[in-house]
Structure 1
C-alpha cells in the first residue's frame, strides 16, 4: 500500500493531515516561496501534538538552491539544533551554480543529520540531467527524492517519474509531488509504481491543508 506525506505550512495543517490519514508530515514555513525552515516553536508544538512521522524542511530562504557560505553554515546549525527536537527526518537540497547536485555539501549535511532520514527536495527538479543527479543523491546518502519529474508538475513529468522509479530500483524512494491531488494521484500511482506520494492537499486557496482532500488522496492510493 502506498503512503502519503502532507506538506504543512502551519501546525494546524499538520494536525489536520494526521487526523485525516497522512502517514507523514513535512513541516515548512514560507508557502509563498515553496517552503523554508519553520520556527523552533512550530517544530516543538508539532512534535508534541503529532503521533505520526514528522519531517522538517531545512531551507534558509526562497529562490534558488545555491547557497552562500553563511547560508550553508546556517543550514548546518539548523540541522544540529532541530535533530535534537525529536523529529524523524529532514528535508533539504543544495545545488551548484550550474544546477548540478553539490555532492560535497549534501554529503556533509546528511552526515550531520544522521541517524535521521533525509529527503532531497524539489531542488532535484532543477538539475540538467536527472539520471546523473539520481546517482549523486543516492551516493550522498538520502533515503528519498521529492520530485515532479523535473517538470513544472507531476502530470507533465509523468514519463520522467516512471523512469526515475525504474532507475532507482528500490535503492532510494522516488516520491512524486508538485501538483499532486486526489484527482490525479491514482493515475500517477498506476503509471509510475511509486510507493510514497507528496501533496499540500490545499484546494481552497488558503495556506491550510483540507482534511477531505487528504482523505481522498489516501483513499485513492489504497489499492
Structure 2
C-alpha cells in the first residue's frame, strides 16, 4: 500500500444506532453483529433492515455466527449459517463474515466453499477463526484458493499490537490475492503506530463509548445475565470522536 494512501476503516458494532453514528463519522464500512460480549454473533434481520433504512451509503457487512465458543459447528449449526446467509443476501447485505474450522484446527474447506457459493454475489470475509487455526500461513493460502475476499486477523496473537510483525508478513504474502485486514486491540492511541508497522490497506476497529440508560428506577437485585454481569444501565455505542481520530490518522 502507498504510504500516502489512507486505509479503509471498518467498524465493528452491534446496533442500528451505531451504524448511523459510524456513517456520520465517516467510516467506510461496518460489520454488524449482535452480542459482542461473545465476540460477535449473527444480528437479527430487523437490526439490519433498520440500519440499512437509516443510512445512505455505508457498506454493511453482516456477521454469520450462530453461537459463541469455538468454530467447529454441528450440522444443525451449519444449516443455520446457510439459512442466515440466504436471509441477508435477500435483505441486501453487502458481504457476510464467517469462519469454520475442522476439529484439528484447519479451515473447513468444503463447508467454507459451500457458504461462499451461497453468499455470492455478496463479498466474503473470513473472520478471526483464522487466528485459531493450526497454521495461519497455510490457512491464508487456503483462503486464497477458495477465493475469499478478505481475512480479519490479529496475526495469530490476542491483539494486533502483539501480532504486528506477523501481520506485516501476511500483508506482504497476500499481495493482491486477498485483503489482510488487521483487527482486535486497535485504538485511537495506537492506530497510527500500528498502521506504520503493518501497512495494510484495511483495518477493523471496535471503538465503544458507554452511555447511560434512560431508566430512572433501577432495581439493584435483579439481573438479566449470568454471574459475569455487564452493567444493566449502561449502553454501548460507537464513539464518533475516537472513530474520527482513527480516520484522520
Normalised by the length of structure 2, the TM-score is: 0.86
| 8 Å Cα contact 1:31/1:207 also seen in 2 | no
2:49 corresponds in structure 1 to 44
1:192 corresponds in structure 2 to 198
> Between Structure 1 and Structure 2, how many residues are aligned?
220
**Residue of 8, 15, 20 corresponding to 1:3:** 8
| 8 Å Cα contact 1:149/1:176 also seen in 2 | yes
Whole-angstrom CA distance in 1 between matches of 2:247 and 2:104: 37
Flag the structure with more relative contact order, 1 or 2, with Cα contacts below 8 A and sequence separation at least 6. 1
Whole-angstrom CA distance in 2 between matches of 1:145 and 1:70: 25
| 8 Å Cα contact 1:21/1:215 also seen in 2 | yes
Whole-angstrom CA distance in 2 between matches of 1:161 and 1:170: 15
SS at match of 2:93: coil
* Per-residue deviation, residues 150-196 of structure 1 (Å, max 9, x unmatched): 10000000111011001101111111100111111111211111010
CA-based RMSD: 1.1
Whole-angstrom CA distance in 1 between matches of 2:235 and 2:171: 32
2:62 is aligned with 1:33 = no
Whole-angstrom CA distance in 2 between matches of 1:108 and 1:187: 38
- Correspondence list, 1:116-135, <5 A: 116-135=122-141
SS at match of 1:207: strand
SS at match of 2:77: helix
1:80 corresponds in structure 2 to 86
Moved over 6 A (4+): none
Gaps of 5+ in 2: 1-5, 211-233
Whole-angstrom CA distance in 2 between matches of 1:125 and 1:202: 23
Shift of 1:206: 4.9
- Correspondence list, 1:88-103, <5 A: 88-103=94-109
Whole-angstrom CA distance in 2 between matches of 1:103 and 1:139: 10
2:69 corresponds in structure 1 to 63
Whole-angstrom CA distance in 2 between matches of 1:83 and 1:61: 20
Gaps of 5+ in 1: none
1:13 corresponds in structure 2 to 18
